[in-house]
């Protein structure tokens, strides 16, 4: 299967499942190299209490939505679980938990990724933006408003991932045509097939030059 032109494999993407397995195992061994406290006393240990009884927990500093969070995590914790279970950022959804649906899409250093496929410790020092970070002062981001105007959802479960991905598609310059939008959004699945509204919303947001 050929990859869409907008596909940008992350630097740390495993080339095959067995390598992913290896990386999960090796991450635990090497985590100590990456998770040294970055902010010293300035960082607040928000989740240490949650993992206080976990002998495998390590200290992990994550920059999420322009705020650094000092967490205590099992090194095998995915970024998705760190966001949802430790930071109470529930916008990113767990759908398939294996990289097939896109419901967990967030932005890392400006690139959209499936947060279920990356470990939290692999994102130390990177800028993570979730759907909660796209809003400013409680106002909808223009692309969120466009999704509402164009009925780009039904149940809404996939919508935060759709919006994050749509934001990146426009920023990448891959929203020139409906066909290109469809292809570059193909990693985000909508159970209710609201694709007509989604494409309309992205087209509208593109034309508004978000």
- Residues forming contacts to ligand FES in the complex (CB under 6 A) are 94-97, 99-104, 114, 116
CA angle 124, 188, 204 (to 5 degrees): 105
Cα three-residue angle 165-168-169, rounded to 5 degrees: 85
**DSSP string computed for 155-208:** S-TTHHHHHHHHHHHHHHT--SSHHHHHHHTTTS--TT--HHHHHHHHHHHHHT
Query: What's the closest the beta carbon of residue 145 comes to ligand FES, in angstroms?
Result: 25
Select 112 or 174, whichever has its Cβ closest to ligand FES.
112
Of 58 and 83, which has the nearer Cβ to ligand FES? 83
Looking at beta carbons only, is 133 or 187 nearer to ligand FES? 187
Residue 84 vs 141, nearer CB to ligand FES: 84
User: How far apart are CB 97 and ligand FES at their closest, in Å?
Assistant: 5
Minimum CB–partner distance for residue 113 and ligand FES (Å): 9
Strands (E), 38-103: 58-64, 67-73
Q: How many Å separate Cα 186 from the centre of its chain? A: 16
Which C-beta is closer to ligand FES: that of 101 or that of 129? 101
* Smallest distance, ligand FES to C-beta of residue 93, A: 7
Question: Measured between alpha carbons, how far is 192 from 120 in angstroms, rounded to an integer?
Answer: 30
Q: How far is the CB of 48 from ligand FES (least distance, A)?
A: 27
CB 58 within 8 A of CB 76: no
Cβ proximity to ligand FES: between 57 and 129 the closer is: 129
SS3 state at 56: coil
- For helices 195-207 and 159-172, angle between their N-to-C axes, nearest 10 degrees: 40
> Which helix (H) or strand (E) covers residue 107, if one does?
strand 105-108
CB of 94 to ligand FES, least distance (A): 5
DSSP code of 120?
Answer: G
């Amino acid at each position: 299967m050929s990859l869409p032109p907008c596909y940008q494999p992350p630097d740390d993407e495993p080339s095959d499942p067995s390598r992913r397995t290896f990386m999960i195992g090796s991450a635990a061994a090497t985590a100590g190299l990456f998770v040294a406290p970055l902010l010293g006393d300035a960082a607040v240990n928000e989740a240490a209490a949650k993992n206080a009884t976990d002998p495998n927990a390590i200290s992990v500093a994550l920059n999420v939505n322009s705020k650094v969070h000092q967490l205590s995590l099992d090194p095998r914790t995915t970024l998705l679980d760190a966001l949802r279970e430790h930071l109470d950022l529930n916008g990113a959804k767990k759908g398939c938990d294996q990289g097939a649906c896109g419901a967990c899409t967030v932005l890392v250093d400006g690139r959209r990724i499936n947060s279920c496929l990356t470990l939290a410790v692999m994102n130390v020092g990177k800028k993570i933006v979730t759907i909660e970070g796209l809003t400013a002062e409680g106002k909808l981001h223009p692309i969120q408003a466009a999704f509402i105007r164009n009925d780009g959802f039904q149940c809404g479960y996939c919508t935060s991932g759709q919006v994050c991905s749509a934001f990146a598609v426009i920023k990448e310059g891959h929203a020139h045509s409906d066909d290109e939008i469809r292809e570059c959004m193909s990693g985000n699945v909508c159970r209710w097939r609201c694709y007509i509204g989604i494409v309309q919303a992205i087209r509208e947001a593109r034309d508004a030059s978000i």
